[in-house]
Structure 1
Amino acid sequence: MSSFATHLLACFFLSAARADELSIDFNNAIGMTSDGYVSFNFDWHLNSEESPAWYNSSVLVLDLKNPQLVYLASQLSPGHLRVGGSEGDVAIYDVGTHSPCKPGFCMSMDRWHELVEFCQAAKIRLVFGLNAMYGRKNKTSHFDSTNTQALLEYTAKNKLPVYGFEFGNELQSKIDPSYMADDYITIRQMINELWPDSSTRPWLIGPDENPNEDFLKKLLQKAGYAMNASTYHIYPGYGLDPHLPQQILTSSYLNKEGSLAAKLGKDINETAPNVEGWVGETAAAWHSGRNGTTNTFLSGFWYLDALASVASQNQKAFCRQTLVGGNYELLNKNTTDPYPDYFTALLFKRLMGMKFLQVKANISDDLRVYAACSNPEAAEAGAVTTAFLNINNSTSFSFTIAGLSGDQADREEFHLSSGEEGTLQSSTVKLNNKILQLQDGKLPDMSGMSQSRESPIVVKPLTYGYILFKNANAAVCSKN
């Protein structure tokens, strides 16, 4: 057991409850997200890249007919599957005059059909990243659009349903924003001509940048009218940093995602109000994550906090890097079994709705609480769900919600804790003290624990989860 885990084990015996009162504004929403908010990615990485992190995980070779993969992806429907990554800007599409393309990052049309069919089977929305560097000679030149046009023409001719096309990946230092804007306008013209019916027309999305406000504003000022969503990447940590496990359990680390989404979301809204803001790629750490950290229960402190904080900033999609691949995957690449973060995402989707509410409290920074109108599939209109995490390693927190009395305070609680005693770096997770794992390839019962108004809400050290107040009767949650 690591010294980090041993320290945590010792601290569990020191817990003592603290009581607090939280106030939720039940009359106004501070943020509005979308039904496809909980989303995820595939990447292009080959087996040889950072082996074995990407073994058989590339979008080119992943078994898209694996029934368990289809089933688990479908449980996050109607989320987006974004296909992206740096290699997308060297990929060639094996169609038209570019057929046959050389082995490597070559997308055959058979594989293109398989990818579209996978998304149809799982009822998820395909967002495919186009090669923005093809034929580009330098920073102030345009790309060669012939291969992109051939793919778009093939897709339209064969009536393949694609939710959106993204253009480029982290190219903010390689392309002048004015030239990239011209290319977006060119692609918009292609899409409009090939899909004259706006109801089936794919979205145009990008630039999928590492945050660069100057680049983003200049791009949107010129091409924002041609775009549907603006994407950016957020990675608060570094996968090779040995201190990452300790960093995740700090407020300064957890604050990064929400604050950056607020800043970029404001830039997008002010520059191109018609364009949605998306986190197009994110995980607890870049460089493929960190094995034993970003694929364990520990990662969930970041994941739950980031999901809730970004949604509160009116961002419409949160694309987790990845569904399969790297050391930050939601599903184990070898078994397709879920890691803890998959269950966290699934509960978020099932319980949290699209309207996010203001939470006010004079409490410790170690207890972080968010609130949203409940998903209509989880409860009737007026219901509220809170998401919580306690990053303190020795103190339990007890709290009440101001304004909830009588049966309004009755609730269902969903407490997530490490699947292994004494360590947060567990590849399994418990829901209300029961291990979550597939049963004959299907998800287990994930019902909450019913609690009456008389029992206090207690959040134990180093746990996170959700609380559903079915009878909250919140005014803002009773409106469409």
Structure 2
Amino acid sequence: MLTLAFALLLCGAVAAASSISGALKLNADDVAFTTSPSFVSFNFDWWPNGTPAWTNSSVLIVNLTNPLLVYLTSQLSPGHLRIGGTDEDRIVFDIGDSHQSCVDPFCLRMSRWKELINFTQVTGTKLAFGINAMYGRKNRSSHFDPSNAEALMKYTAQEKLPVAAFEFGNELNHGIDPQVYGEDFATMRKMINEIWPDESNRPQLVGPDIGTDSSYFEDFLPVAGPYLNATTYHIYAVGRGTDADLPAHMASLKYLQRQTDEALSMLAIVKKTAPNSELWLGEGAAASHSGLAGATNTFLSGFWYMNALGTTATHGHTALCRQALVGGNYELLNKTTFMPNPDYYTALLYRRLMGQKMLEVTVSSNINDSFAAYAACANQGSPGEIVVAFLNLNTTESIEISLTGIASGPREEFHLTTGEEGNYRSQEMLLNGNLLQIKDGKLPNLSGMNVTGDTPLVAQPMSYGFALYKSAAANACM
């Protein structure tokens, strides 16, 4: 059930905020993990029209030439654009001997294939494309028929069309025996290597894109691990879009903590069974079942998203593929207008500010039930600069933060708050008190607020944001 404080906030009744003090201890001498320039990634899905949350957003029909879509996607470059989802394993490619079985709405024609690849080239994103792993498969113990995938790959290579990675199958842990699935990945690896003999332009192989099914991974990875460039998994950490209590859970660090727990569990499995593979969160949002309109597409979703970005980047992940760029009730961009939802700005600020070198942060025990923080070397700053990403889920109290482990000095702050006071399910968001909105097809000013070093960092109730410490002199970032 909703807490009384949170229920009042949803109704717009806001108590006057008091303030409590907390502390962050930063290890500025060592890098906890180095992630990838493509870490902030995102998805397209195959859902055909007929599902209201996905109207006109299938990868087969979304308008890839819309100037706003192209522009806003390019701002997230060089992230991966993953194309996958449930219907991935129904898609037939209209190439080779597949013409009779290539039937709409599950037919990818080569004209559209070229349009998709052109979209990634124009936007500077990296295509991670899902291959139908059920093609020709008779039962869970039989192997797939690679002929359709091979025809697509040969056409792609002959046309010199760049693909960063091929994914193979989507959430098939209940449909294929892990040993058989692993052997099919060996077949995929052999095909890719033969079709692209030059390693410099060879697509990666990633998968299996299943949920956090540890027993399946432990059987699958010893077989498939040697052939994988990245091990991928899916998680919708907070709950289902059909859950009436979802909004309250999205505002609870207790529920957000599941993201950290599963990230650490997956990291341990991959280190043990596929140590040469990267680790991607291949599909994720706050809630499954297409999310919940009025929650997963609002300011409220940013608490999950900031926490997910920070925890996966710190704990061994090189990509977080957000479900979805367009489509569902958790989309970054509105499927009709392509205008940003709040999480788009969160993704953009994270990509611009947070670098690849992640640092360890410890939150003092008096606030760690409602406050979380992550730190990285600054993305494009001077040597030694660091950025702290923070979220305050306290509904009534601001938190004054003291930071130890770095030199004090001036900083730049980026405070993200709801665009409608007291309404945390708003689709409007403020940056340092200024409404974020597209004007004349261009992004608003996303600069921070300059603050002197003797002023404490204050995170308002129910807010998140970033602080760029310009004089940190962090040894790990030199």
TM normalised by structure 1 equals 0.96
* Map of 1:474 onto structure 2: 474
Q: Counterparts of 2:409 and 2:303 in 1: how far apart (Å)?
A: 26
8 Å Cα contact 2:131/2:149 also seen in 1: yes
Q: Counterparts of 1:183 and 1:96 in 2: how far apart (Å)?
A: 20
Q: Counterparts of 1:175 and 1:266 in 2: how far apart (Å)?
A: 23
* Map of 1:109 onto structure 2: 110
8 Å Cα contact 1:297/1:425 also seen in 2: yes
User: Is 1:294 the equivalent of 2:296?
Assistant: yes
Q: Counterparts of 1:475 and 1:270 in 2: how far apart (Å)?
A: 31
Q: Counterparts of 1:409 and 1:371 in 2: how far apart (Å)?
A: 17
TM normalised by structure 2 equals 0.96
Structural mapping, 1:190-209, within 5 Å: 190-209=191-210
Cα distance, 1:361 vs. partner? 3.2
Deviant stretches of 4+, over 6 Å: none
Over residues 88-133 of structure 1, what are the superposed CA-to-partner deviations in whole Å (9 max), with x where a residue is unaligned?
1011000011125222210000000000000000000000000001
Cα distance, 1:153 vs. partner? 0.8
Query: Which residue of the other structure, out of 377, 391, 405, is the alignment partner of 1:373?
Result: 377
SS of residue matched to 2:339: coil
Cα distance, 1:217 vs. partner? 2.1
Over residues 184-236 of structure 1, what are the superposed CA-to-partner deviations in whole Å (9 max), with x where a residue is unaligned?
11111111011000000000000001111121122211121111001000102
Cα distance, 1:8 vs. partner? 5.0
Aligned residues: 471
Counterpart of 1:26, as a letter, is A
* Residues 456 and 112 of structure 1: CA distance in aligned 2, closer, same or farther (over 3 Å): same
8 Å Cα contact 1:416/1:465 also seen in 2: yes
Cα distance, 1:403 vs. partner? 3.9
8 Å Cα contact 2:9/2:424 also seen in 1: no
Q: Counterparts of 1:38 and 1:284 in 2: how far apart (Å)?
A: 16
User: Is 1:167 the equivalent of 2:168?
Assistant: yes
* Map of 2:362 onto structure 1: 360
* Residues 380 and 9 of structure 1: CA distance in aligned 2, closer, same or farther (over 3 Å): farther
8 Å Cα contact 2:8/2:14 also seen in 1: no
Q: Counterparts of 1:232 and 1:78 in 2: how far apart (Å)?
A: 21
Counterpart of 1:280, as a letter, is G
Cα distance, 1:5 vs. partner? 5.5
Counterpart of 1:381, as a letter, is P
Q: Counterparts of 2:72 and 2:330 in 1: how far apart (Å)?
A: 17
8 Å Cα contact 1:164/1:203 also seen in 2: yes
8 Å Cα contact 2:27/2:405 also seen in 1: no
Q: Counterparts of 1:22 and 1:148 in 2: how far apart (Å)?
A: 50
SS of residue matched to 1:73: helix
Q: Counterparts of 2:218 and 2:200 in 1: how far apart (Å)?
A: 28
SS of residue matched to 2:320: strand
Q: Counterparts of 1:422 and 1:229 in 2: how far apart (Å)?
A: 42
Q: Counterparts of 2:120 and 2:217 in 1: how far apart (Å)?
A: 30
Counterpart of 2:62, as a letter, is L
SS of residue matched to 1:285: strand
* Residues 440 and 20 of structure 1: CA distance in aligned 2, closer, same or farther (over 3 Å): same
SS of residue matched to 1:314: coil
Q: Counterparts of 2:213 and 2:9 in 1: how far apart (Å)?
A: 39
Structural mapping, 1:286-435, within 5 Å: 286-362=288-364, 363-364=366-367, 365-375=369-379, 377=380, 379-405=381-407, 408-435=408-435
8 Å Cα contact 1:98/1:147 also seen in 2: yes
Q: Counterparts of 2:11 and 2:90 in 1: how far apart (Å)?
A: 47
Counterpart of 1:427, as a letter, is Q
SS of residue matched to 1:151: helix
Q: Counterparts of 2:401 and 2:11 in 1: how far apart (Å)?
A: 24
Structural mapping, 1:120-199, within 5 Å: 120-199=121-200
8 Å Cα contact 1:12/1:461 also seen in 2: no
Q: Counterparts of 1:109 and 1:286 in 2: how far apart (Å)?
A: 31
Over residues 218-264 of structure 1, what are the superposed CA-to-partner deviations in whole Å (9 max), with x where a residue is unaligned?
22111211110010001021001111110011122110111101111
Query: Which residue of the other structure, out of 248, 251, 259, is the alignment partner of 1:249?
Result: 251
Q: Counterparts of 2:104 and 2:59 in 1: how far apart (Å)?
A: 14
Cα distance, 1:16 vs. partner? 1.1
8 Å Cα contact 2:35/2:356 also seen in 1: yes
Over residues 397-434 of structure 1, what are the superposed CA-to-partner deviations in whole Å (9 max), with x where a residue is unaligned?
001111444xx331000000001122000111000000
Q: Counterparts of 1:419 and 1:142 in 2: how far apart (Å)?
A: 52
8 Å Cα contact 2:286/2:305 also seen in 1: yes
Q: Counterparts of 2:195 and 2:219 in 1: how far apart (Å)?
A: 28
Counterpart of 2:67, as a letter, is P
Unaligned runs of 5+ in 1: none
Counterpart of 2:409, as a letter, is A
Q: Percent identical across equivalent pairs?
A: 48
8 Å Cα contact 2:19/2:400 also seen in 1: yes
Counterpart of 1:460, as a letter, is Q
8 Å Cα contact 2:12/2:421 also seen in 1: no
SS of residue matched to 1:48: coil
Cα distance, 1:457 vs. partner? 1.1
* Map of 1:441 onto structure 2: 441
8 Å Cα contact 1:32/1:356 also seen in 2: yes
Structural mapping, 1:268-279, within 5 Å: 268-279=270-281
* Map of 1:79 onto structure 2: 79
Counterpart of 2:339, as a letter, is D
Counterpart of 2:49, as a letter, is N
Say what the alpha-carbon RMSD is for the aligned residues: 1.4
Structural mapping, 1:38-53, within 5 Å: 38-49=40-51, 51=52, 53=53
Counterpart of 2:461, as a letter, is P
SS of residue matched to 1:214: helix
* Map of 1:97 onto structure 2: 97
Over residues 116-159 of structure 1, what are the superposed CA-to-partner deviations in whole Å (9 max), with x where a residue is unaligned?
00000000000000000111111100001111111111111111
Q: Counterparts of 1:239 and 1:269 in 2: how far apart (Å)?
A: 32
SS of residue matched to 1:148: helix
Structural mapping, 1:453-472, within 5 Å: 453-472=453-472
Which stretch shows the higher mean deviation, 209-218 or 330-339? 209-218
8 Å Cα contact 2:26/2:360 also seen in 1: yes
Unaligned runs of 5+ in 2: none
